[in-house]
Structure 1
Amino acid sequence: MEEEIQGLIKRMCDPNEKEAYYFADKLGKSLDVSGRDKVIELVKGDNWEAAYLACRALSRSSFNEESLDAIFEAINDKMNRPQQGAFVQILEEFDLSQRFVDIFRVFLFGNFKAQALAKMYLDEVEFDMTPRTLRKAEKHWNHYLHNPEDEGSLQLKKLEVEPILEEIRELLSED
């Protein structure tokens, strides 16, 4: 199995491979624990195309939740900012119900495409909310308020974020 996984990783990462997506999908379906760790290392690596394909492989694996930390780390890595949208887009293949704060953070601090996709997830995913989730989201919001990318976007962001946070407060006060 180890040899098969190594072969799939090699084919998936080959820049001349025309069927890289096929090999990423096949890799994801056959991943074991040791293979998972190798694929997560690719997500954290310097080659964004291999990292993206590794994310795709992980989305097809049984290690869906365990791999999200590495994917959000790649999304938030300044080095990946130009490709941030692609990494956020692959999140549609994952269960995000426990990841409100991570998505909210991308919505606040991501590039244009990443923010738009994160907003879509915020609107469409049914998140599990707790008081802790709200506190963490408010912490990121306060950080954004004190460090906006530009003053012009601050008012627009307020119009979008404050209703979200208020809705969560209301939801939690009902419980």
Structure 2
Amino acid sequence: MAVTELVAQISGELDSKAYEVSDTLARIGTEEVVEEMIKLLSHENSDSKFLAARTLGKIKNNEAGLAPLLEAIQNKENSVIAGDLFMMLEDFDLSSKYVEIFKHFLNGSFKVSTQAKDLLDHKEFDITPRVIRKAKKHWEHYSNNVKQDELYDLRKIEVNEMLEDLEAYLKEE
């Protein structure tokens, strides 16, 4: 079956074979599939967007899909499914995206923030002094623009531990 026919099966109303089609497209994994999944991230149907993100995550050479997926997560139109889309980042190389994931940890919905924290805790990132400076800058911005309550105090403890761990890691290097 042609890629366009398979893509059509996960565009719009989905049937019971939608996940199988997603898996098939991921196995095909060509540049054409990646391009089609990137286009599908803008589809009006939320389920189609989710399956596009899922398919991109399963493709072996999915680097080209990372930036569009991050854009889709940030798109206010996708706020209801942002957490579901964010889950699909697990299958990408995020090594250069610490600061972006950190920003989602600070500013995302509960689901996005929780998943971002999990990625920050379990994925490998390229940590440099610049990355730490940028993370601190975002923390400062967040601190200055959020209600200073008990939740903030807990977040502050958590973030300070994270940043201290990163600095200790760099010193060990």
Asked if TM exceeds 0.5, the reply is yes
CA contact (8 A) 2:73 2:86 kept: yes
TM superposition outliers: structure 1 runs of 4+ over 3 Å: none
Gaps of 5+ in 1: none
1:151 aligns to 2:152 (yes or no): no
User: Of the candidates 24, 28, 31, which is equivalent to residue 30 of structure 1?
Assistant: 28
The equivalent residue for 1:75 is: 73
Alpha-carbon distance between aligned partners in 2 of 1:79 and 1:157, rounded to the nearest angstrom: 27
Q: In the superposition, relative to structure 1, how do residues 109 and 8 fare at CA in structure 2: closer, same or farther (>3 Å)?
A: same
Superposed displacement of residue 66, structure 1: 2.1
Alpha-carbon distance between aligned partners in 1 of 2:139 and 2:109, rounded to the nearest angstrom: 16
- After superposition, residues 15-164 of structure 1 pair within 5 angstroms as 15-148=13-146, 150-152=147-149, 153-164=151-162
Calculate percent identity across the aligned residue pairs.
36
For 2:20, the aligned partner's letter is Y
Alpha-carbon distance between aligned partners in 2 of 1:56 and 1:12, rounded to the nearest angstrom: 11
Alpha-carbon distance between aligned partners in 2 of 1:67 and 1:13, rounded to the nearest angstrom: 18
Alpha-carbon distance between aligned partners in 2 of 1:68 and 1:16, rounded to the nearest angstrom: 24
Aligned residues, how many?
A: 172
CA contact (8 A) 2:34 2:64 kept: no
Alpha-carbon distance between aligned partners in 2 of 1:50 and 1:16, rounded to the nearest angstrom: 8
Alpha-carbon distance between aligned partners in 2 of 1:26 and 1:14, rounded to the nearest angstrom: 18
Q: Under a length normalisation based on structure 1, what TM-score does the superposition of the two structures give?
A: 0.88
Structure 1 vs Structure 2 CA RMSD = 1.9
